[in-house]
Copies of this chain bind each other. A is one copy, B any other.
Amino acid sequence: MKTKERILLTSLDLFNRYGEPAVTTNHIADEMEISPGNLYYHYRNKEDILLCLYERFEEALLEALKAPEPEAVKLENMWLFLHLIFENIWHYRFFYRDLDHILSKSEKIKRRYSRVLLKKIDTAKLLCTGLSERGILVASASEIDALSHNMALTASYWLNFQSALQKSPQDELSAKDISLGVYQVMALIAPYLRDEERGMLQSLSRVYLGDTLSNG
In the complex, A65→B202 CA distance in Å?
30
Question: Which residues on B sit within 8 Å (CB–CB) of A21?
Answer: 21, 101
Question: Which residues on B sit within 8 Å (CB–CB) of A149?
Answer: 161, 184
Cβ of A98 within 8 Å of any chain B Cβ, yes or no, is: yes
Binding site secondary structure of chain A: helix
Cβ of A32 within 8 Å of any chain B Cβ, yes or no, is: no
Contact for A187 among B97, B143, B154, B164, CB less than 8 A: B143
Give A158-170 as 1s and 0s: 1 = Cβ < 8 Å from B's Cβ atoms: 1011011111110
Interface size class of A (residues with CB under 8 A): 35 or more
Q: Of residues 119 to 160 in A, which have CB atoms within 8 Å of B's CB atoms? A: 139-140, 142-143, 146-147, 149-150, 152-154, 156-158, 160
Asked if B169 and A139 sit within 8 Å, CB to CB, the answer is no
Cβ of A188 within 8 Å of any chain B Cβ, yes or no, is: yes
Residue with the greatest number of chain B CB neighbours at <10 A, chosen from A98, A113, A167: A167
Cβ of A210 within 8 Å of any chain B Cβ, yes or no, is: no
In the complex, A144→B84 CA distance in Å?
26
A183–chain B nearest beta-carbon distance, Å: 7
Can you name 12 A-B pairs with beta carbons within 8 Å? Answer: A21-B101, A98-B101, A111-B167, A111-B168, A114-B164, A117-B165, A140-B202, A142-B202, A146-B187, A153-B153, A156-B164, A188-B188
